[in-house]
Amino acid sequence: MDDDHKLDDGHFHVLLLNVLHSLSSNLKKLISGTGPAGIGFTAIVVGGHVNVKRGSPIPFSKIINEYGYGFEIENGYFVCKKNGLYHFTASVCTVTGDVWVRIYKNNVEVGYLYKDQDSKWGSGTGSIVVRMMRGDKLHLSAEKNIRIADKVTIISGFCISC
C-alpha cells in the first residue's frame, strides 16, 4: 500500500471504534428485540398425556421460546410472517407405541414421522427444510389415534434465510 492510502494510528483507532460501536449497538438491538430479529420457536405438549384423534393437529400447548412470532398455540400451527427458507424439527413421543404423524404445509404433506413398535412407548423424530411464504401454515397431524406424551413431544423451527 502506498503512503497516500495508509491509515495512520489515529484514523485506524477512530475507524475501529466506529465499527465496534456499530456492532455493539446492533447486538443490543437484537438482544432487546428492538432490532431486526430472526424467526424461530420451540413449543411442547404439557399438562399430561393427550389423546389425539386421526387427522387432528398435535396440540402443542406451551411455547418455550419464540422470536419473530408465528406459532399459534391455540391451534398448533406455525404461520409464516416472513418469506424465506425454514428448518423444522419435530419429535413425537407416544404412550401407545406407534408414532404416525405427518408434517403439513398448507395442508399438503411435506414430511413424515413414523415408528411402529410393540413396546408401550414410541418416539419418532424428523427434520425438514421448506420454503415458506408469508401466510403459509405448517402443522403436525396424527395419522391414527395416538396418545401423546407430555414434555417430550416438541416442535422447533427457524428461518435459515429470510
DSSP the chain: --GGGPPPHHHHHHHHHHHHHHHHHHHHHHHHTSS----EEEEE--SS-EEE-TTPBP---EEEEEES--EETTTTEEE-SS-EEEEEEEEEEESSS-EEEEEEETTEEEEEEEE--SSS-EEEEEEEEEEE-TT-EEEEEESS-EEEPSSS-EEEEEEEE-
Query: How is the chain split into domains, by residue range?
Result: 3-32, 40-161
Would you state the pLDDT for residue 80? 95
Would you state the pLDDT for residue 53? 94
Closest to 117 measured CA to CA, from 141, 140, 100 = 100
> What would the grid cell of residue 86 be?
425454514
Question: Would you identify the CATH topology of the domain 40-161?
Answer: Jelly Rolls (2.60.120)
Would you state the pLDDT for residue 124? 82
Would you state the pLDDT for residue 100? 84
Q: Consecutive sets of 10 residues in the chain, 162 residues long: mean pLDDT of each?
A: 51 50 51 62 90 93 89 92 93 83 95 74 86 96 89 90 84
Would you state the pLDDT for residue 12? 47
Would you state the pLDDT for residue 58? 93
